[in-house]
Structure 1
Amino acid sequence: MPFQPIEPRRLYRQIADQLRQLIQSGEFAVGSRLPAERDLALKMGVSRPSVREALIALEVQGLIEVRVGSGIVVIAREPVRRLDNAHGPLEIIRARQLIECELAAVAARSEDSTLVPDLEESLREMESDIAARTLPIRGDRNFHLRIAQASDNSPLLAVVTQLFDERNGPLFARLGSHFERETTWKQAVAEHRAVVKAIERHDPQAARTAMSSHLEHSHERFSAGWTAPTETETPKSTA
Structure 2
Amino acid sequence: MPLQTVEPQRLYRQIAEQLRALIAKGEFAVGARLPAERDLSRQLGVSRPSVREALIALEVEGWVEVRTGSGVYVLDRKARRTAAPAAQEASEWGPLELIRARRVIEGETAAIAAAQRKARDVAAMTSAIETMRELADRGVMPLEGDRAFHLAIVAACGNVVLTETVINYWDSRNGPIFTRLGGYFETVQSWRRAIAEHEAIRDAIEARDVPGARLAMHEHMDKSHQRFSTSWRRAGKV
Flag whether TM exceeds 0.5 (same fold): yes
The alignment's TM-score, normalised by the length of structure 1, stands at 0.89
| Separation in 1, partners of 2:170, 2:24 | 34
The offset of 1:110, in angstroms, is 1.5
Q: Distance in 2 between matches of 1:109 and 1:25?
A: 57
Q: Residue by residue, what CA displacement relative to the aligned partner does 1:216-238 show, whole Å, maximum 9, x if unpaired?
A: 00011011112248xxxxxxxxx
Corresponding residue for 1:15? 15
Question: % of aligned pairs identical?
Answer: 51
The answer to whether residue 189 in structure 2 is matched with residue 187 in structure 1 is no
Distance 1:209 1:39 in 2: 35
1:88 aligns with 2:94: yes
> Deviating runs (4+, > 4 A) in structure 1?
none
- By how many angstroms is 1:76 displaced? 2.7
Distance across 2 between alignment mates of 1:26 and 1:191: 46
Question: 2:150 is aligned with what amino acid?
Answer: H
Distance 2:104 2:42 in 1: 28
Please point out which of 97, 104, 107 is paired with 1:98: 104
Q: Distance in 2 between matches of 1:188 and 1:72?
A: 29
In 2, distance between residues paired with 1:69 and 1:133? 24
Query: Which whole-Å CA distance do the structure 2 matches of 1:157 and 1:167 have between them?
Result: 16
Gaps of 5+ in 2: 1-8
String of CA shifts for 1:177-227, please: whole Å, max 9, x gaps: 101101100010000000011111110111101000001000110111122
How do 1:114-133 and structure 2 match up within 5 A?
114-133=120-139
Aligned match of 1:201: 207
Amino acid aligned to 2:70: S
Contact 1:23 1:77 in 2 (8 A): no
**Partner residue, 2:4:** none
Q: 1:58 maps to which residue?
A: 58
Q: Is the contact between residue 24 and residue 77 of structure 1 (CA under 8 Å) also seen in structure 2?
A: no
- What's the CA shift string for 1:88-120, capped at 9, x where partnerless? 111110110010001111111124111111111
Match of 1:218 in 2: 224
The corresponding residue for 1:48 is 48
What is the aligned partner in structure 2 of residue 138 from structure 1? Answer: 144
Corresponding residue SS for 1:65: strand
1:27 is paired with a residue whose SS is coil
Please name the residue that 1:166 is paired with.
Answer: 172
Q: 1: CA distance between counterparts of 2:17 and 2:117? A: 50
Match in the other structure for 1:178: 184
> For structure 1, which runs of at least 5 residues remain unmatched after alignment?
1-8, 230-239
TM-score relative to the length of structure 2: 0.89
Contact 1:15–1:54 under 8 Å retained in 2: yes
* CA–CA separation in structure 2 for the residues paired with 1:124 and 1:92: 26
Give distance in 2, aligned partners of 1:168 and 1:138: 12
Paired residues of 2:115 and 2:208 also in contact (CA < 8 A): yes
Residue type of the alignment partner of 2:89: D
1:66-81 correspondence runs (5 A):
66-77=66-77, 80-81=82-83
Structure 1 residues 28 and 130, CA gap change in structure 2 (3 angstroms): same
Residue 77 of structure 1: how far off its partner (Å):
4.3
Q: CA deviation at 1:68?
A: 2.4
CA 18–200 in structure 1, closer or farther in 2 if over 3 Å, else same = same
